[in-house]
Amino acid sequence: MNKLRVFAAVLLIGALTLGFTARNSDFELVKSLDIFYTLFRELNLYYVDETEPEKLIETGINSMLTSLDPYTTYIPESEMDDFNFMTTGAYGGIGSLIRAGESYAIIAEPYEGSPSAKAGLMAGDEIITVDGFVTKGKPLSEVSEKLKGVPGTDLALVIKRPGEKENRKIKIVREQIHISNVSYFGLISGKTGYIRLSNFTLDAGAEVKAAFLELKKNHNIEKLVLDLRGNPGGLLIEAVRVCNLFVPKGQLIVSTKGKVSQWDQEYFTTAEPVDTEIPMIVLVNRGSASAAEIVAGALQDVDRAVILGQRTYGKGLVQTTRKLKYNTQLKVTTAKYYIPSGRCIQALDYTHRNEDGSVGYIPDSLISKFKTKGGRVVFDGGGVSPDIIDSVLVYNQLSMYLYARNMIFDFATDFVARNKEKPEMKAFRIGDAEYKRFKDFVKSKGFNYETQSESDLKKLIATAKEEKYFDLASEEFAVLEKKLAHDDDRDLDNFRTEIEELINEEVISRYYYQKGRIGLSIETDTQITRAVEILGDPGEVEKILARDSETVAKDHKI
């Protein structure tokens, strides 16, 4: 009952703090809170089994917030470290990704220069114990918490390395781990520079600036590809700082408008730019969201860069954190944002839900035209539509199964165990002999998969049997089953090109970390190739940015 008294006191204090009066709207609020408290009290007193009050309250809070939008969330004290990591890109730990294995957590990828890399941990290592804590069968979240900790503290691991009989004992000193926003940069062709920006945590703008200046200094680049594909966004101010590198001082980048006037803000570039002339192409896809969309949309609106790829995610909402009691926080949507042309690119309409509670896209009838600085037509209501639409590579089902079931990961672990010498990154390819070894490796693991056609046919047969139609077409079904039956060996040969690319990237990441994976993937990335071709055609970027409104409007109807 003490917990109930505390909860009642919190409600009472909250009511006094907000200064509720007898006015109708305030009365309805007080009435609702009173109902909630009395319901909560009765539930705890009379429910047949023991309840967990804290969990009930948290469930109630989360359900309430879910009815608004997916970005308005309650952050309990236990999740504050994860939240801080999302905004700062830093945490205390060993610096490694982990994934689930059959029994134990497995090192998926140590970060370059991290404590885990310095201690010699390798992808594929099974984590048997963490400071005596046995990880067998434990959820990844629990293992992760054991690995994290205050920088400077010691950690003792027992790991099992594939191919070795004896377990290894490894001591690691935790450090402050910072995940760079710029995951890769380099020269990709002639005088064309490339920067992949993966997040918008603290210092994203400074990291892009440093990468760009290094490319200028070491390679004297004359063109730039800025890759925002798969970038989920982050801090709005960092999006402004990235834009500031390429557009003049005093340019409006984004404005926000909310119910409360304090959230009505305009964000201009405040510093002198680094380069306002270099031809630029920005790569985007469906995974480019939030701050990534601000950068792409703003550079499009001021006619500073050509946008290439697929329509972006469409998140035009701004969140602010509000401190609550007991080291908890509320992340709440406080405003919508608008890029320089005046458009908001929010795709889903959370305000007007369907009758069943689902959320629909903003209808075409409510999508409006806007114009860029140079007069090109652009649209709101559904992400940033690129100037050049380029289809995304879709892996075949076999490749996805091989990846998801860790066949490629495990083969890369086996490869590294057999090949200690570090290969040259960009020239690395596994070749015919290794691919044959991979096929044998897959067979030895008993791998099997089912194509979508086979799966759909099984469902059709089951439905036909249920409806008593199967006997009428049993011969036809048998013929169809035979024709649609896949052949593992044949499929491994037919889809070798893309399977081999996945193997090459996984293997090279074991020697060169994330930079190796990205660096090698650039060689076969069709969208990067397309960007390089456009930048290599003198004046082509300028022509695209000067197209008439009718042509651009037609391109945007996808």
| Per-residue pLDDT tens over the stretch 325-368 | 999 999 999 999 999 999 999 998 888 888 777 888 877 777 88
pLDDT the model gives residue 483: 87
Q: What's the rounded mean pLDDT across residues 184-203? A: 96
Q: State what percent of residues in the chain have pLDDT above 70.
A: 94
- Rg over CA atoms, the chain: 28
pLDDT digits (tens, 9 = 90+) for 458-489: 999 999 999 999 999 999 999 998 888 888 88
Residue 184 contacts residue 147 (beta carbons within 8 Å): no
Residue 505 contacts residue 489 (beta carbons within 8 Å): no
Pairing relation of β-strands 223-227 and 192-197?
parallel
Q: What's the rounded mean pLDDT across residues 82-98? A: 88
d(CA 326, CA 510): 43
Residue 431 contacts residue 438 (beta carbons within 8 Å): no
pLDDT the model gives residue 551: 54
Residue with tokens 């006015």: 23
pLDDT the model gives residue 119: 96
More confident residue, 506 or 484: 506
Residue 495 is encoded by which pair of tokens? 């889809």
pLDDT digits (tens, 9 = 90+) for 129-163: 999 999 999 999 999 999 999 999 999 999 999 98
User: Does 550 score more than 80 pLDDT?
Assistant: no
Instruction: Name the residue ranges covered by the structural domains of the chain.
Output: 2-75, 90-178, 182-392, 397-451+486-534
Task: Specify the CATH number for 90-178; select among 1.10.1200.10, 2.30.42.10, 1.20.1440.130, 2.40.50.100.
Answer: 2.30.42.10
pLDDT digits (tens, 9 = 90+) for 242-252: 999 999 999 99
Residues annotated catalytic, as ranges: 290, 301, 315
Instruction: Name the superfamily (CATH) of residues 182-392.
Output: 2-enoyl-CoA Hydratase; Chain A, domain 1 (3.90.226.10)
d(CA 161, CA 122): 8
Least confident of 2-11, 68-77, 469-478: 2-11
pLDDT the model gives residue 558: 36
Q: Provide the residue type at 452 as one letter.
A: Q
User: Does 426 score more than 90 pLDDT?
Assistant: no
The pTM assigned to this predicted structure is 0.87
392: Cα separation from own chain's centroid: 16
Q: What's the rounded mean pLDDT across residues 218-241? A: 97
DSSP string over 526-557: HHHHHHHHHHHSTTHHHHHHT--HHHHHHHH-
pLDDT band at residue 12 under the 50/70/90 scheme: very low
Q: What's the rounded mean pLDDT across residues 438-443? A: 96
Cα of first residue to Cα of last residue in the chain, in angstroms, is 59
pLDDT band at residue 4 under the 50/70/90 scheme: very low
Q: What's the rounded mean pLDDT across residues 395-418? A: 94
